[in-house]
Amino acid sequence: MPKKLSILVIGASRGIGLELARQSLADGHRVIATVRHDAARETLQALGAEVLTLDVANPASISGLAWQLDGEKLDQAWYVAGVIRRPDALTPPTQQDFDAVMHTNVLGAMQALPQVAPLVADAGGVFAFLSSSMSQIASVPGSDAWLYRTSKAALNMAVAAAQHSYPGATLVTIDPGWVQTDMGGGSAPLTVQDSVRGLRSTVAGVTDADKGRLLHHDGRRAAHW
């Protein structure tokens, strides 16, 4: 019988995070999910998840994550929370947009990491952060969503650097592909279900050689970031 895993999903209110929780619960795993709103809490509790209230864009909120997880050992943790702003480099980002994107995509992840990574290390597990193929500096096709691209490139570096402080855990960033979510839009080629199946399969198969790397949902390893 497969091992029952303890899995944390940070940002499970909708889209990829909600589907990660749904598929993991359907496979018999224990899921701790974080949400910002009561409506999402009710949905996840109905699925069987344990639910915590957390706003990754609020430093005061995320600073309390460790005590909410006190005593846990996590086989997997996922940082899914993310936002996008789409203007290209012809338009300077506003302070409001910069703060919104960087707080959620980078600062929130960097604040969560020292609180969660030790719990993942205790289980010899994996901590995966959703990044994007748009973060890869070696293959930039345009300047669209340049603030989002910058935030995900920064996330890749934060995770690769942090890996050295947590040798007992495997820290990776992972690209979910272009997915039919509120962020990806209805014309995206991947359903949420297919993306999440790929994400889960890829994370289940990581090795020590993947520590600190950018992976793709279909199992490819990024040759150049």
Each residue of 127-142: pLDDT tens digit? 999 998 878 888 778 8
- DSSP SS3 for 148: helix
Q: Work out the average pLDDT over 22-49.
A: 95
Domains of the chain: 6-216 (3.40.50.720)
Q: How far apart are the first and last CA of the chain?
A: 38
**pLDDT single digits (tens) 142-178:** 888 899 999 999 999 999 999 999 999 999 999 998 7
Angle at 83 between CA 13 and CA 72, to 5 degrees: 50
What is the pTM assigned to this prediction? 0.94
Beta strands in the chain (DSSP E): 6-10, 30-35, 50-53, 76-79, 126-130, 170-175, 214-216
pLDDT at position 204: 96
pLDDT at 33 over 70: yes
